Amino acid sequence: MVSGSRVDMTMSPPRILQIAHNHPIFHAGGTELTAMALHRQALAEGVDSWFLGALDDTQIRPNQGTQMIGLSEDGRESALFAEDFKRFSLSQEDFFGFQRELQAYLRSVRPDVVHVHHMLNFGLEALHLIRNTLPDARMILTLHDYYLICANNGQLFKHDTMTRCRGPQLHDCLKCIPQMTANDFSMRQLDITHALRLFDHLVSPSYFLKSMFEGQFSQFSPIEVIENGYFGEEAPPPVRRRISGGPIVFGYFGNISAVKGLPDLLTAADILLERGVGEFRIRVHGAQLFEDKPLTDRMALAKSRLGHRLTFQGAYQGHETGRLMSEVDCVVFPSIWWENAPLVINEALYCQRPVIAYPHGGAPEILKRHGGGLFPASSDPEAMADLMQDVIEQPSLLDMAFGRVPDRADLLRSYMRLYRS
């Protein structure tokens, strides 16, 4: 990592730039929400903070003659339009538009700290541009997922066999992305390694991701761990409703996709019915953002089998999360890929809702730290059905203590130590 002279920020708060690959207005993913939480909390505490995202023309059209657009009245939230980004190589090839305007923005804002949350849309080239334009700035990278390890959408997941990948092996990578060559993968790894050397600190929101990343990039060990926490409205969680003899209500929250595990939850429900266990309800909150006909057909089949026991509630806004979670007894998180630090887990714990989660990835780490977790014996629908049946027959399993989940103030406090160090 970079060493040498840095701006002395021990006497006054630094000027901080948060960079994310999108903006929560258009895509409220965990990465964007984390970056925005840091930005707005910093402003609330009187710190000079800026936010730069990236968009494409499917979200909003750029103004004529520029690729920059302002997204807040105070002028501190902006986005660049990214049109020539190559996902495999993490390369932004618009040198005369995107990169030129990025450099002009950096020269205008002149941040003391640049906190990068993702390389999507910006590209590895942007990191070199940041370092060359701001040679004395501190650069922080938070690893929110596995994109730097896995070229297959950063999921470490084999979609042909629907199994988790324990780390990239060339023969497996060539099966996932057969149009690429061994040399392509080697160059990708080399380019990423060079870019990572530009950073002063690497951060992971979970020890699980830290271990996976250090297994591939051991030269960048140790990676710091800073937990994300809860970023919702500053209001007390809703009172947990009493279970009074009615059916147990399970809730699914988040985007609907195959890797998020909704099919596993629906299969577990089918298994319960086959066992003669029918006193339950499942409420699915979320939207299917990408076309997936097999998943759509699976949802339709589940509705025909489960009837009134299953309702698809559709998309929801962040401010609705507390109310919606107050209407379920237990949140089910059946994601089948290596989730890193899913925000829905922290939202459930803040709302004091027990969570059933598969015992893999970063989710168990959060639940074991703060309480409120129940884990099937294994990561499969049969084991999920076993645990759901236990909860249906013994509702007292849901009576558990919850620890305090970190909030955005805690998050900023942890990062300020790195911003100043």
Q: Which residues contact 32 (CB under 8 A, 6 or more apart)?
A: 20, 21, 22, 23, 24, 53, 117
**Which two structure tokens, joined as six digits, stand for 113?**
């700290």
Helix ranges (H only) for 18-110 are: 30-44, 98-109
Residue type, 400: M
* Strand blocks (E) in 60-155: 68-70, 77-81, 85-86, 91-92, 113-116, 138-142
* Per-residue tens of pLDDT for the chain, all 421 residues: 544 434 444 557 899 999 999 999 898 888 999 999 999 999 999 999 999 999 987 777 777 788 899 999 999 999 999 988 999 999 998 888 899 999 999 999 999 999 999 999 999 999 999 999 999 999 999 999 999 999 998 999 998 899 999 888 999 999 999 999 999 999 999 999 999 999 999 999 999 999 999 988 988 878 999 999 998 765 656 665 655 678 999 999 998 988 999 999 999 999 999 999 999 999 999 988 788 899 999 999 999 999 999 999 999 988 899 889 999 999 999 999 999 999 999 999 999 999 999 999 999 999 999 999 999 999 999 999 999 999 999 999 999 989 999 999 999 999 999 999 8
Give the long-range contacts of residues 214-219, CB within 8 A, separation 24 or more: 215/167, 216/149, 216/167, 216/168, 217/148, 217/193, 219/193
Only one residue has tokens 């998180």, namely 333
If you classify domain 248-398 with CATH, what class do you get? alpha beta
Write the DSSP symbol of residue 221: P
The three-state secondary structure class of 248 is strand
Dist. CA 265–CA 268, nearest whole Å: 5
Cis amide leading into 359 (omega within 30): no
Beta strands (DSSP E) in 44-186 are 49-55, 68-70, 77-81, 85-86, 91-92, 113-116, 138-142, 157-158, 163-164
The span from the CA of 69 to the CA of 101, in Å, is 11
CA distance 262 to 335: 7
Structure tokens at 290: 């990408």
DSSP one-letter code for 153: T
Sign of the torsion angle spanned by Cα atoms 155, 204, 373, 408: negative
Calculate Rg over the CA atoms of the chain: 22
CATH class name, domain 16-228+409-420: alpha beta
Which pLDDT score is estimated for 273? 97
At residue 3, the pLDDT reads 42
Q: What ranges do the domains of the chain cover?
A: 16-228+409-420, 248-398
CA 212 vs. chain centroid, Å, equals: 16
Query: Are 115 and 17 a contacting pair, CB within 8 Å?
Result: yes
Structural element, H or E, at residue 247: none
Measure the CA–CA gap between 198 and 6, rounded to whole angstroms: 13
N-terminal to C-terminal alpha carbon distance within the chain: 14
